[in-house]
Amino acid sequence: MPLPPFTALIHHAAPLEDGVAAERGWAQAVAEGAAPQAHLWQGAPGWSVPASYARAPGWAAWQARCAAAGTPVHVRSSGGGLVPHGPGLWNLSLLWRTVKGAPVQADAVYRALCDGLVRALAVLGVAASAQPVEGAFCDGRYNLAAHGRKLVGTAQAWRHVAGAPVVLAHAVIVLDADPVALTAATNAFEQGLGQARRYRVEALTSVAAEALRAGQPPGDWAQRLAQALRQDGLLIP
């Protein structure tokens, strides 16, 4: 199953306070007949977790503590693991209505999403490939990694919205966040919730770090990523 034609990329300049809620609204619009949507956005500081986290002992108290600290936790419909939001982390959300209500072609969607992102990252001088990265947060077969270090994570959700089957394919892109600080923050979250899982700083990199390593000049990485997605990524001119 190829991805549908995304003819426009909506680049949200201001961070979204609740990207999970925004995705629900975009899914509703698609279910009601809107064309396939591609959104590039940055979340306000906070966290996104799958529903499994909400079953942990002490979840309500930890969620309240995070909210009080200005880093709210949002529970999302897709799977995976802990995902941070904030400066230097960008999200690509692709939503479309489908004729099938079950994720029978989930692997094909992942491959198409990864292929499009690989092309876009190549525009920025970054050679990436799909692979798991042991010790990375929200690890999976369809991470994108450069030199064995994760810089993109992906997820999917297939849902009936307003009676229509809608697909969400999502990527979180470590654009120019500091991998050391990001790893420390994700480990602190897991520890605060009383979870045993921990992440390795050596498992993470960023698009900016890899692009600079490849000889690309510094710049506005968000604008350059948006242009790369338009130029040779997922969009149909």
Residue 4 vs residues 96, 101, 112, 194, 206: alpha-carbon distances, Å:
7, 16, 10, 41, 28
pLDDT for 68 equals: 97
- Name the residue ranges covered by the structural domains of the chain: 9-232
φ, ψ of residue 204 to 5 degrees: the values are -130, 145
- Identify which of 148, 105, 97, 103 has the alpha carbon closest to the alpha carbon of residue 127: 148
Q: What is the pLDDT along the chain (237 residues), one digit of tens a residue?
A: 578 889 899 999 999 999 989 999 999 999 999 999 999 999 999 999 999 999 999 999 999 999 999 999 999 877 789 999 999 999 999 999 998 766 778 899 999 999 999 999 999 999 999 999 999 999 999 999 999 999 999 999 999 999 999 999 999 999 999 999 999 999 999 999 999 999 999 999 999 999 999 999 999 999 999 999 998 777 755
- 9-232 CATH: 3.30.930.10
pLDDT for 54 equals: 94
